[in-house]
Amino acid sequence: MKDIDVNNRRIGVNFESGSNAHVRVWAPFAQKVELLLSKEAAKVTLKQADYGYWVAETDRLGAGDNYKILLDNETERPDPASLFQPEGVHGCSAAINPREFKWTDAAWQNHPLGDYVFYELHTGTFTPEGSFKAIVGKLDYLADLGITAIEIMPVGQFPGTRNWGYDGVCPFAVQNSYGGPYGLADLVDACHARGIAVVLDVVYNHMGPEGNYFNDFGPYFTEKYNTPWGNAINYDDAWCDGVRSYFIENALMWFRDFHIDALRLDAVHAIKDFSPKHILKEIKEYADQLMEVTGRTHYLITELDLNDPKFIEPLQRQGYGMDAQWIDEFHHALRVTAGGEKSGYYADFSGINHLAKAYTDAYVYDGIYSPHRQKNFGAKTSNPGHQFVVFSQNHDQVGNRMLGERTSQLHSFEMQKLLAAAVIVSPYLPMLFMGEEWGETNPFQYFISHTDKDLIEAVRAGRKKEFEAFHNEGETPDPQAEVTFQRSKLQWDLQEQSHHKQLLNYYKALIGLRKEHPVLQRSGRAQLSADVDADKNVLLIHRWHHDQHILCVMNFSGEIAHVGLPAEYSWRMLFASADARWCGNLDMLHPALTVTNAAVPAQSIIIYHNDHV
């Protein structure tokens, strides 16, 4: 049975009223559960309650005090629902009262989802300091760039101080080396003061290996299903109610207590749940209840590799109610069109024809045969554009390369500008990966700081095996080495240098155009058509709203392309990536001239509008 109150967290240590701590631990197989108080070197015995819970109310544990959970007189563990692990994943938990957070965002209203321009960042490498406080110092820069939502990679406590965040083992605890829960709350408050929403990446499909003590408390995992990380989280097997409540409480906590605007749920295709009500649907139902109480708007965004629209269909249409999803297929088609490799999953993508399909249909594989998967895959979707997030790079697509090369190391300067425009002029929600806007040259590599020697060697061996066919490109970077982490940090001084500065100004102008133009600011997929000249590697994207029209002519080839424009409209040049302002060789001295034919420079985009605008 679930006992969830959207107004208050009900698991772990909480201070609901007065000064007493309310303790609630789920340990259905334990015979005895106690609270170990570090300050007094004393114990508080919990009473057994229904459905595997143990409870206590005490005035001996205050906010800021350290504690652990003692199971059956012998097993000391951190609290699975701890909000802070000041000593790391193996140490004591600290009692935190979110009511102590200092908020100034009472007037904040979340943006409509269609207005989101995402900026994905990793806290540890975004700034030299690698902290929430240091991100605050960059918010004015992000606002000036045109970003309306930062997306923070996972901050649940992980081993050590260096990690992408997907090895977290304390989903409620905010990483101590980043600034802990108070630091995150201050960052969110500062974002809202600048009109920036905050999206937090959370992991509900697996737990990391080091510091994973969940099995000591109860059946958090099931042997019914396997995932790439081992046994699946128990969402539908015996005792699953306690597990489901745990993750529902987690989502509610981020929204309610940390004022997070949206959650990005990692790899939901790896969530195994055949319950009559899928866990995602239940999370959505509780999120809706919370929004009714608070009047604030929150979104749920999934990473999904199934091309199944039921995940983003609303609850009233028997969907799971997720508000949007990442769409990797747009990225894959775009990269192949730009001349990228066609190995692995890229082999499924033909290039410019599939890119055109991604613009018009969202899913490339929407029920057609996938050679890579060796089966028919996906289903058609009619969902609007604002339910899809697209990008030309992200942490996965960069960091899961052997050397972690960014687009700036793989493509020409002109192609970088074209890739950015292809994303930003789409009817979908655009996302940038930190540093791409100035052509960051440092890689983003996979890094860890585990303390278990056997685990470290296993991770090293796994990375080497994954890339054993690529040894001619060099040695696989050591994920445990601090230098791997340090070389992944952004170089903020680059944005003041030559082409980097002009690329940054280009991104600002392009994002501004998307926000301001009445066609580009809309997410209607029905008001879009795509025409392909495969021989020239040219794509024309025609978008419109009422009698206002935009034509985006993209030339992915290495030669100038001569393209006839649709004759039923009078076209004038609005924007060109090869403009001299952005280090190109195109002179836009006469943008007011009406044209019927376009000479599009190699690896560039020209955007035209009709005379009505």
Pairing of strands 597-600, 561-564: antiparallel
What is the per-residue DSSP string for 231-294? EEE-SSSTTHHHHHHHHHHHHHHHHHTS---EEEETTGGG----SSS-HHHHHHHHHHHHHHHH
Mean pLDDT of 467-479: 78
Q: Are residues 391 and 482 in the same domain?
A: yes
Q: Taking a C-beta distance cutoff of 8 angstroms, is the pair 10, 53 a contact?
A: no
Q: Report, as residue numbers or ranges, the catalytic residues.
A: 266, 303
Number of domains in the chain: 2
Give the CA angle between residues 155, 461, 329 to the nearest 5°.
Answer: 55
pLDDT at 518 over 50: yes
Q: Are residues 596 and 542 in the same domain?
A: yes
Q: Are residues 457 and 370 in the same domain?
A: yes
Q: What's at 265, amino acid-wise?
A: L
pLDDT at 344 over 80: yes
Q: Domain range spanning residue 209?
A: 114-213+265-289+298-504
Q: Are residues 480 and 540 in the same domain?
A: no
Q: Are residues 445 and 540 in the same domain?
A: no
Tell me, letter by letter, the H, E, C secondary structure of 426-483. CCCEEEEECCHHHCCCCCCCCCCCCCCHHHHHHHHHHHHHHCHHHHHHCCCCCCCCHH
Q: Report the alpha-carbon distance of residue 382 to residue 362 in Å, rounded.
A: 9
Q: Report the alpha-carbon distance of residue 484 to residue 482 in Å, rounded.
A: 5
Q: What's the pLDDT score for residue 592?
A: 64
Out of 105-109, 342-346, 442-446, least confident range: 342-346
What would the pLDDT profile of 14-29 be if each residue is shown by its tens digit?
998 777 999 999 999 9
Q: Are residues 491 and 386 in the same domain?
A: yes
9 carries a ligand binding annotation: no
Out of 390-399, 431-440, 457-466, least confident range: 457-466
Q: Are residues 540 and 462 in the same domain?
A: no
268 carries a ligand binding annotation: yes
Q: Are residues 438 and 347 in the same domain?
A: yes
Among 460, 489, 504, the domain-final residue is: 504
Q: Compute how many other C-beta atoms are within 10 angstroms of the C-beta atom of residue 471.
A: 11
Q: Is residue 185 part of a domain?
A: yes
What would the pLDDT profile of 108-131 be if each residue is shown by its tens digit?
999 999 999 999 999 999 999 999
Measured CA to CA in angstroms, residue 362 lies from 149, 423, 426, 474, 549 at distances of 22, 13, 10, 36, 21
399 carries a ligand binding annotation: yes
Find where tokens 């007189």 sit: 73
Mean pLDDT of 141-156: 98
517 carries a ligand binding annotation: no
Q: Which two tokens stand for residue 372?
A: 């890579």
Q: Taking a C-beta distance cutoff of 8 angstroms, is the pair 81, 21 a contact?
A: no
* CATH number of the domain bearing residue 135: 3.20.20.80
Q: Are residues 461 and 606 in the same domain?
A: no
308 carries a ligand binding annotation: no
Q: Output the pTM of the full model.
A: 0.97
Q: Is residue 452 part of a domain?
A: yes
b/e burial code for range 259-268 (CB count within 10 A of at least 16 → b):
bbbbbbbbbb
pLDDT at 589 over 70: no
Q: What's the pLDDT score for residue 470?
A: 62
Q: What's the pLDDT score for residue 472?
A: 58
Q: What's the pLDDT score for residue 588?
A: 61
Q: Which two tokens stand for residue 326?
A: 């990442």
Q: Taking a C-beta distance cutoff of 8 angstroms, is the pair 420, 436 a contact?
A: yes
Give the CA angle between residues 124, 128, 133 to the nearest 5°.
Answer: 70
Q: Is residue 557 part of a domain?
A: yes
pLDDT at 590 over 70: no
Cβ contacts of 415 within 8 Å, gap of 6 or more: 338, 339, 407, 556, 603
331 carries a ligand binding annotation: yes
Q: What's the pLDDT score for residue 343?
A: 84
Q: Are residues 429 and 470 in the same domain?
A: yes
Mean pLDDT of the chain: 95
514 carries a ligand binding annotation: no
Q: Is residue 359 part of a domain?
A: yes
531 carries a ligand binding annotation: no
Q: Are residues 406 and 466 in the same domain?
A: yes
Q: Report the alpha-carbon distance of residue 121 to residue 223 in Å, rounded.
A: 34
Q: What's the pLDDT score for residue 585?
A: 81
Q: What's the pLDDT score for residue 156?
A: 98
Q: Is residue 446 part of a domain?
A: yes
Query: Which own/partner contact pairs does 481-485 have at CB distance under 8 Å and 24+ positions apart?
Result: 481/447, 482/162, 482/449, 484/445, 484/446, 484/447, 485/124, 485/125, 485/162, 485/445, 485/447, 485/449
Q: Is residue 255 part of a domain?
A: no
Out of 74-78, 188-192, 519-523, least confident range: 519-523
pLDDT at 555 over 80: yes
| Band of pLDDT at residue 211, cut at 50, 70 and 90 | very high
Q: What's the pLDDT score for residue 345?
A: 85
Q: Is residue 510 part of a domain?
A: no
Strand positions, DSSP E, 175-233:
197-202, 221-227, 230-233
527 carries a ligand binding annotation: no
**Runs of H (alpha helix) within 363-412:** 395-399, 407-410
Residues in the chain, how many? 613
What would the pLDDT profile of 250-278 be if each residue is shown by its tens digit?
999 999 999 999 999 999 999 999 999 99
241 carries a ligand binding annotation: no
Q: Report the alpha-carbon distance of residue 246 to residue 26 in Å, rounded.
A: 9
Q: Compute how many other C-beta atoms are within 10 angstroms of the C-beta atom of residue 125.
A: 24
Q: Is residue 332 part of a domain?
A: yes
What would the pLDDT profile of 399-456 be if each residue is shown by its tens digit?
999 999 999 999 999 999 999 999 999 999 999 999 999 999 999 999 999 999 999 9
* CATH number of the domain bearing residue 560: 2.60.40.1180
pLDDT at 471 over 60: no
397 carries a ligand binding annotation: yes
Q: What's the pLDDT score for residue 613?
A: 45
Q: Taking a C-beta distance cutoff of 8 angstroms, is the pair 158, 168 a contact?
A: yes
Q: Are residues 393 and 464 in the same domain?
A: yes
